[in-house]
């Protein structure tokens, strides 16, 4: 059934979204959502530069084209990450300040919101799968018992993926709250 593949993709998407939430240490995936207007087109930052973390509190950005430095700085400054750049002409360094307790709680709420969006996506996939099974039953392709068994299987699969999502959320919250 292609339902499991769809649910797996939804789970992976939520995990990628979790990676964009700041924790106490530097991580290049924080900048995954940054789009730089480069020659009139929005371009992902990682297509324009090498991202690295020389230490736990710093993200280093080395642009492939030095003329893009100002554009990269502007994109980071206008993002909702609240980070400031230090440009030495060759590389851009971003110092990741330690998080306050209030910011940590805000990030936990954001992670919970992303998890809920992931659960909604999983439930939508479940609904589509059950609708497909009911249609097959209506068209006479499945008996009532077969239909019920298939629907139960879809529900069990959904429960499994939601439990996995809850586990990922708990890990992310623990990561955010770790000082």
Q: Which residues are paired to 15 by β-bridges?
A: none
The whole-angstrom separation of Cα 134 and Cα 118 is 24
Which CATH number do you get for residue 120?
1.10.132.20
Same domain, 113 and 166: yes
* Predicted pLDDT at 87: 87
12 lies in which domain range? 2-17+100-177
One domain for residues 148 and 84: no
pLDDT at 149: 94
Report the range of poorest mean pLDDT among 21-25, 131-135, 138-142. Answer: 21-25
Query: Do 94 and 86 contact (CB within 8 A), yes or no?
Result: yes
Q: For 83-87, which contacts have Cβ atoms below 8 Å and span 24 or more sequence positions?
A: 83/30
Indicate whether 56 and 105 sit together in one domain.
no
Residue 34 shares a structural domain with residue 50: yes
Domain count, the chain: 2
| Six token digits for residue 89 | 């002409």
CATH number of the CATH domain containing 41 = 3.30.1360.40
The pTM for the full model equals: 0.73
Top-ranked range on mean pLDDT: pick from 61-70, 84-93, 121-130: 121-130
CB atoms within 10 A of CB 140: 7
Cβ(134)–Cβ(81) under 8 Å?
A: no
- In this structure, the answer to whether residues 151 and 109 fall within a common structural domain is yes
Let me know whether 79 and 124 are in one domain.
no
% residues pLDDT > 90 (the chain): 43
Residue 54 shares a structural domain with residue 10: no
At 8-64, the pLDDT tens digits run: 999 999 998 888 787 777 788 888 888 988 888 888 988 899 999 888 888 899 999
């Amino acid at each position: 059934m292609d339902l499991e593949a769809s649910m797996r993709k939804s789970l992976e998407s939520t995990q990628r979204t979790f990676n964009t939430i700041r924790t106490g240490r530097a991580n290049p995936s924080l900048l995954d959502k940054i789009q730089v207007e480069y020659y009139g087109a929005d371009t992902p930052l990682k297509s324009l530069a090498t991202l690295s973390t020389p230490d736990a509190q710093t993200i280093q950005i080395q642009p492939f084209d030095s003329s893009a430095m100002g554009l990269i700085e502007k994109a980071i400054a206008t993002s909702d990450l609240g980070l400031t750049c230090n440009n030495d002409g060759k590389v851009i360094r971003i110092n990741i300040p330690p998080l306050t307790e209030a910011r940590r709680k805000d990030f936990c709420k954001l992670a919970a919101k992303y998890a809920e969006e992931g659960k909604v996506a999983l439930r939508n996939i479940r609904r589509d799968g059950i609708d497909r099974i009911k249609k097959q039953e209506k068209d006479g392709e499945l008996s009532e018992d077969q239909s019920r068994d298939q629907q139960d299987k879809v529900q069990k699969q959904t429960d499994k993926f939601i439990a996995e999502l809850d586990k990922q959320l708990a890990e992310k919250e623990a990561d955010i709250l770790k000082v």
